[in-house]
Structure 1
Amino acid sequence: MAEADIPRPGAGTGFVAAPLRHDSAGAHVAGTARYVDDMPEAPGTLHLAFGLSTQAHARIEAIDLDAVRAAPGVVAIFTAADIPGVNDVSPFAGDDRLFAEGSALYVGQPLFAVVATSTKAARVAARLAKVDYTPLPALLTIAAARAAGSLIEPSQRMGRGDVPAALDAAPHRLAGRIAMGGQEHFYLEGQAALALPGEDGQVHVLSSTQHPSEIQHLIAKVLGRSHADVTVEVRRMGGAFGGKETQAAAFAVACALAATRTGRPVKVRADRDDDMVMTGKRHAFEIDYDVGFDDAGRIAGIRLELASRCGATTDLSPAINDRAMFHSDNSYYFPAVEILSHRLKTNTVSDTAFRGFGGPQGMVGIERVMDAIAARLGRDPLAVRQANLYGPGRDVTPYGMTVEDNVAPELIAELAEAADYTARAEAVAAFNAGHRILKKGLALTPVKFGISFTTTHLNQAGALVLVYADGSIQINHGGTEMGQGLMVKVAQIVAEVFQVPVERVRVTSTRTDKVPNTSATAASSGADLNGMAAFNAAQTVRERLAAFAAEKFGCDAGSVRFTPDGVVAGDEILPFDALCRMAHLGRVSLSATGFYATPRIHYDRATHSGRPFLYFAYGAALSEVVIDTLTGEHKVLAVDILHDVGRSLNPAIDLGQVEGGFIQGMGWLTTEELVFADDGRLLTHAPSTYKIPTASDRPARMTIRLWERGRNAEATIHRSKAVGEPPLMLAISVLSALTHAVAAAVPGKGLPDLDAPATPERVLMAIEALRRRG
């Protein structure tokens, strides 16, 4: 995003709404930002590597570790027999073993850990184990698991109305299916942890995790210790995207186990190939639809059946698949609807949280439905989408929540006008009529994304604000920094409270010994929750300072004002640092904790009904693509985005999140393909075989705007809206545009069955399938 495109704040610098750069930007560029692997190693530090299963499903008859033990540099080996507590690193279900016992459930499952004097020595030694397996039947695909009835939990249903009657009575009806693959997180910093043993069995762990409190609790469980014996610290992650919400646990816990048993620091830095093999991905989905609609394309009734590959254990799959159901409506109203969800257990690594948390998969399904309806009726796809939007009298979701903040219709209309949708659609049609090999596609798709954890108790946060006698401020809160700019936003919020430059505010590492029982930094809720908790803590200190100043200078506490020029108390104006010094000498407490719990949310999972979200974030994207019908290759030519972030806390950060989210979503839907061999091995386990977007894949023209009229109707921090996950789903417009381009290659044959990722091979197969269609 060009500097000129960044909106400027209305007043002041360093406060809320200022487009400040990321607080670690300079250190990132200079290479001085410290990650786990950058921390100085104490003498005697050991390095850990895992021995991994080579079988997708097998009974473990014996493990011979003699060669591992005899390898150069090896100090110790740990198996399930060495765990003093419980062999479990799962987020809640109790079915994720730190080390396999009895059987191997997927290729890449940890069997043991070895610690050695160097990373190389540990990795080499870990591969010397001799394991005797008895192979067992393995389920590797959605189809195989469905046929076997293999589920991680019972299938779920959400809906309302008489769907069969609505389908039968509708003037038009069609059915179809779309499949979409998973996605590798591909964070720049791999999984990493460093455990430092302390006194009396205590341990301090530096972990690259989105969920330090969960890591703390799991370490305590495995070691048989209390939570108070374990401190987990996170300064920053080099990317996470959900891949470090639960998946960091095994690495941190294994280091803690080894450190407490050897009495020496233990570090792990996962090899990229091992990281990709060991850790879960975005869930692959198949979605079947049966929809009835009228001549305008307005849906009368719809049945959606979702099936996902969850992997070998539960992980977070129940909540992820629930969110896929929640977002199967996207921005559209269904008078009668039934959504079925099948959560399939397979002998693959357990899939896990990924930016959007199931929401993108649900949205892809309904956006394909919209395109299919438009193709059947010969109508403009945008007109069909607009006909189905939520609106007055049509404002209740399939789970019974009333959509109170619906801005989708006006936001979509504004983008369509600003991006000149009608003229560009005509130009694309003209291009396609005049070109035989190259075909273009254009699509405008909306996003309505619910904000809050759907597991209600996770919607809470704490913070600790310390104001020092020199007027400097330190903040600690439960959120973690993974590059998304959470820390600078929280610093701006606190700077706003005291009306001091943001340079005076220092946000420190996230630590479980400062703020306990924190939720993961996930669900796009980092700024909502932690920003409000920090605000509440800062307000407490500010009120104490105001009361002290009022007593000191003989005025009412309510009249004391904090301004950029100083604190005004009666006839006195004094610098903030001077007031802090006086308050300290006056024995006023200058530290406070803050807490925030999201209001108004409730959800009954048994009936899949309630209000799981505080509000919705909205956006829309118009994407223009071109395909080569001879090679299947494509190019995204231009993208126009209008996104609602409410009143932005930091426009520069938010614009970066929108752009990054879009590109990541585009990669998922076009180039990032996970390929498993017939024996369950992941074949795309390195940058050489797994293709994330590169700089050359970025559209030549990207116009991104934050919606100027955005304002959160709910009392969030400064009326802002979350921005972490919603932008990823703007990229569905790319898949829709590619689908239209393929349709243009074989006119008159309807909409192609183009699955995601829309690789060149799939584009060619879709074209060929259209040619053969009767």
Structure 2
Amino acid sequence: MNAREKEFTSSSGGGPGGAADAGERNLAPATVSPHAPAGSRPAVGSPHIHESARAQVAGRATYVDDMTELKGTLHAAPILSPVAHGRLRGVDPKAALDLPGVRGVVLAGDIPGDPVLATFVHDEPIFALDTVEHVGQVIGLVVADSALAARRAARQVRLDIEPLPALLDVRAAHAARSYVLPPVTVRRGEPEAALAASPHRLCGQLEVGGQEHFYLEGQVAYAIPLEQGQWHIHSSTQHPGEVQHWVAHALHLENSAVTVECRRMGGGFGGKETQAGHMAVWAALAARKLGRPVKLRLDRDDDFMITGKRHPFAYDWEVGFDDIGRITALKMAMLANCGFSADLSGPVADRAIFHSDNAYFLSDVEIASYRCKTNVQSHTAFRGFGGPQGVVAIEAIIGDIARHLGLDPLAVRQRNFYGVGERDVTHYQMKVEDNILEPLVNTLARSCGYAERRQRIAQWNADSPVVKRGLALTPVKFGISFTATFFNQAGALVHVFTDGSVQLNHGGTEMGQGLHTKIMQVVADELGVPFERVRVTATETGKVPNASATAASAGTDLNGRAAQYAARNIRDNLAAFVAGLDGCGAGAVRLRRGEVISPKATRSFDEVVKLAYANRIQLWSDGFYRTPKIHYDKVTLTGRPFYYFSYGAACSEVAIDTLTGESRVLAVDILHDVGTSINPAIDVGQIEGGFIQGMGWLTCEQLVWNEQGVLTTHAPSTYKIPATGDLPTRLAVALWPEANREDNVGGSKAVGEPPFMLAISVWEAIREAVAAAGGDASRLVAPATPEHVLRALGGVG
């Protein structure tokens, strides 16, 4: 490594362990220390390994495409539109049907039910009807004996399409008033008057790109026709209940005729919340027409071309502020690029509004949200669900304010934090009751040596003509609950068998995030049995009906509490039974460590279960949970949409090469609030993974559509996700040591989505480095690719 490389990669340092050394507040470290033997401690709070980890490592964990196929199974491949917008005048499948192994073609005319998907907005056809609206829109399917034969044949289908003008730019769509849903505005106070009275004013624009989900397991479904008009669908989905509804709707059946099963996914990140339903509907339609089981697995290129991404956003804003950087007024327009149909764009854009404050009190504010229709893939849910698009905008604005005034950006951020009294109510009228922003950020700033490092970096930049560094510490305040209030409910089943073993089923889905593992821990403690006695079964609509999507970071909150209630019912049954045997009150009976203890006797759990069964005591139960306290007006977007907030902060140090535009993240210190952790190992992994994924969104993951509307970044060769070489030398994670102030399962807090936004510290650090090099940080476009960094430095047009 030469001297130039060393100066580009070494960190200016903080404490030797960064945030993990912040022992003054007894912070939980990222490393997992040795623990007592299994069974002698509660399961909740222990770093149990992922319930499928051993099977996954050994290659024995089954995903949909690994399943043994039934005899006669066929394979489907999609017929894709090659144009962004046009009239579909005809489909000629003859060349495809003449190929060996091809069994049929499925088109819109083969749909027995509604030809439009059963979405809330009801605006997306199952197959293209008389028009095509993006490159990659599915027009139909070719079905063959093998996946390869089907894919080859699909390319031979001849399409007659008359091209029409296409809208590919979100600002052009906004100018044309092309929207998938009506605009929404949230307003508080008098922002125009407050702007006029502000000592300082700035205005600007910002462009933030989308993001490909890049799940390791692509979209896949396996549709199996059963007897008497019934169906079994294996789907890699975050929302089996919605897949059930969509398939039944398309086949013109009752929901009860369709069972959807998902044991696990190889990643989802929101991309399998709604859009897994397309695969299942298509596969089921092919199976119905041909009378045989059909599997549909997209290859990576088709997956890129068909499925939606994180919504790209554009912003126009004007802000007023005082001499110390406190915001006095804000007006902002958010332009969400929704693609050709609504999908989940409404709630995504709503959440962007909700999180456009992030950690900051906005007294006089107007936020206008425009849900723009363009001729690209229909964009969809992605980790954070619009929250990142709201947070990144306000953080960029505060960074610009600080540079305009020549102040430390962290000091400006802290001056704008939510406080008490009149400064504790959001712009959507929810009171912030669990605010830990100030102590959490102060703790991280001290533990990572923020002030000292800022001074060292200033000296570095004065001495280094080519490589410039930046440091930023940014907070996160993220609301937890589905903004569609009715989704905040869950059910679960717990069965205790006569040998004392326990089986768990709930409505949540496992996509690698450890949901099943955490809920197994909750059930184990509720029944007082070792973690190893609990098994989880595949998520299935025939066991827990009407389950909500596993999304919004609420999987453990909802399903964990439902499972806890189910297990508690069984525990209470056993306690009452033993109390009757021993002549004591049920409250005096305890279940722990595999034993049932009364004032008169100690029995093994297994023994008690056998006795209870012999005495006809119920050993299974369901559980149901609905999130309390939440409510809001969907028209005005005011009320209490969230049960609580999760908080966190990250300090990131970066370096940029001013000659090439290359950037590198050198060091990251994170302090994050997960309440009382159910599983510290899983939570730390979620924090690390969310941060790195967010870093990818803001640094290297760039989606590029050409002038014909073709997504040119449609494969690993052209779309770059973070790799091991992109990891910072130091990534220190610590957990905030305070339980959730709301009554949540185990005192925990959600952890799936909030850490994603910690990566905005990287974006702000890059902007600081650009400014240190004499560039215009406000010109930087996300992601901060080398090209975009050079543009902000004035190096390219």
Q: Is the 8 A contact 1:375 1:750 kept in 2?
A: no
**Secondary structure of the equivalent of 1:154?**
strand
Displacement after TM superposition at 1:256 (Å) = 1.5
For the residues of structure 2 that align with 1:100 and 1:343, how far apart are their CA atoms?
22
Query: Given the alignment of the two structures, is residue 712 of structure 1 paired with residue 760 of structure 2, yes or no?
Result: no
Q: Give the TM-score taking structure 1 as reference length.
A: 0.98
Which shifted more, 8-17 or 238-247? Answer: 8-17
| Cα RMSD, aligned residues only | 1.5
Counterpart selection for 1:413 from 408, 422, 442: 442
**Secondary structure of the equivalent of 1:26?**
helix
1:280-303 per-position Cα deviation (integer Å, ceiling 9, x unaligned): 000000112111111110111111
For the residues of structure 1 that align with 2:242 and 2:118, how far apart are their CA atoms?
9
**Secondary structure of the equivalent of 1:400?**
coil
1:560-610 per-position Cα deviation (integer Å, ceiling 9, x unaligned): 111215101231110001111111111111111100000000010111100
For the residues of structure 2 that align with 1:65 and 1:320, how far apart are their CA atoms?
38
1:451-507 per-position Cα deviation (integer Å, ceiling 9, x unaligned): 000000000000011111111000110000000000000000000101111110001
Query: Given the alignment of the two structures, is residue 478 of structure 1 paired with residue 504 of structure 2, yes or no?
Result: no
**Secondary structure of the equivalent of 1:673?**
coil
For the residues of structure 2 that align with 1:366 and 1:606, how far apart are their CA atoms?
24
Identity of aligned residues (%): 56
The residue number in structure 2 matching 1:760 is 786
Displacement after TM superposition at 1:200 (Å) = 1.0
| Aligned pairs (5 A) from 1:432-581 | 432-564=461-593, 566-581=595-610
For the residues of structure 1 that align with 2:30 and 2:157, how far apart are their CA atoms?
58
Q: Is the 8 A contact 1:89 1:249 kept in 2?
A: no
For the residues of structure 2 that align with 1:750 and 1:283, how far apart are their CA atoms?
25
1:325-371 per-position Cα deviation (integer Å, ceiling 9, x unaligned): 00000000011111111110011110000000000011010000111
The residue number in structure 1 matching 2:153 is 125
For the residues of structure 2 that align with 1:4 and 1:213, how far apart are their CA atoms?
36
1:143-187 per-position Cα deviation (integer Å, ceiling 9, x unaligned): 220121101111110121011111111111111111100000000
Q: Is the 8 A contact 2:30 2:733 kept in 1?
A: no
Q: Is the 8 A contact 1:448 1:618 kept in 2?
A: yes
Q: 1:12 to 1:416 in 2, by over 3 A?
A: farther
Displacement after TM superposition at 1:552 (Å) = 1.7
The residue number in structure 2 matching 1:64 is 92
1:602-638 per-position Cα deviation (integer Å, ceiling 9, x unaligned): 0101111000000000000000000000000011000
Query: Given the alignment of the two structures, is residue 164 of structure 1 paired with residue 181 of structure 2, yes or no?
Result: no
| AA in 2 matched with 1:475 | L
**Secondary structure of the equivalent of 2:769?**
helix
**Secondary structure of the equivalent of 2:419?**
coil
Q: 1:7 to 1:716 in 2, by over 3 A?
A: farther
The residue number in structure 2 matching 1:19 is 47
**Secondary structure of the equivalent of 2:296?**
strand
Q: Is the 8 A contact 2:776 2:793 kept in 1?
A: no
Displacement after TM superposition at 1:8 (Å) = 6.3
Query: Given the alignment of the two structures, is residue 37 of structure 1 paired with residue 62 of structure 2, yes or no?
Result: no
For the residues of structure 1 that align with 2:124 and 2:41, how far apart are their CA atoms?
48
1:84-125 per-position Cα deviation (integer Å, ceiling 9, x unaligned): 111223531111211110010111111011211000001011
The residue number in structure 1 matching 2:381 is 353
The residue number in structure 2 matching 1:47 is 75
Q: Is the 8 A contact 1:554 1:570 kept in 2?
A: no
Counterpart selection for 1:284 from 312, 315, 318: 312
- Structure 2 gap segments, 5+ residues each: 1-16, 21-28
Displacement after TM superposition at 1:753 (Å) = 1.4
Q: 1:474 to 1:565 in 2, by over 3 A?
A: closer
Q: Is the 8 A contact 1:17 1:650 kept in 2?
A: yes
| Aligned pairs (5 A) from 1:214-225 | 214-225=242-253
The residue number in structure 1 matching 2:112 is 84
Which shifted more, 12-21 or 143-152? Answer: 12-21
Q: Is the 8 A contact 1:8 1:19 kept in 2?
A: no
The residue number in structure 1 matching 2:680 is 651
Q: Is the 8 A contact 2:558 2:627 kept in 1?
A: yes
The residue number in structure 1 matching 2:31 is 5
Q: Taking CA–CA contacts closer than 8 Å with sequence separation of 6 or more, which of the two structures ends up with the larger relative contact order?
A: 2
For the residues of structure 2 that align with 1:463 and 1:262, how far apart are their CA atoms?
36
The residue number in structure 2 matching 1:641 is 670
Q: Is the 8 A contact 2:525 2:592 kept in 1?
A: no
The residue number in structure 1 matching 2:708 is 679
| AA in 2 matched with 1:595 | F
Q: 1:750 to 1:130 in 2, by over 3 A?
A: closer
1:245-271 per-position Cα deviation (integer Å, ceiling 9, x unaligned): 011111111111222332321111111
The residue number in structure 1 matching 2:4 is none
Which shifted more, 29-38 or 623-632? Answer: 29-38
**Secondary structure of the equivalent of 1:153?**
strand
**Secondary structure of the equivalent of 1:306?**
strand
Which shifted more, 721-730 or 19-28? Answer: 19-28
Q: Is the 8 A contact 1:140 1:680 kept in 2?
A: yes
For the residues of structure 2 that align with 1:744 and 1:72, how far apart are their CA atoms?
64
Displacement after TM superposition at 1:30 (Å) = 1.5
**Secondary structure of the equivalent of 2:779?**
coil
The residue number in structure 2 matching 1:632 is 661
1:217-249 per-position Cα deviation (integer Å, ceiling 9, x unaligned): 000000011111000000000000000001111
For the residues of structure 2 that align with 1:392 and 1:374, how far apart are their CA atoms?
24
1:691-722 per-position Cα deviation (integer Å, ceiling 9, x unaligned): 000000011111111112x2111101011000
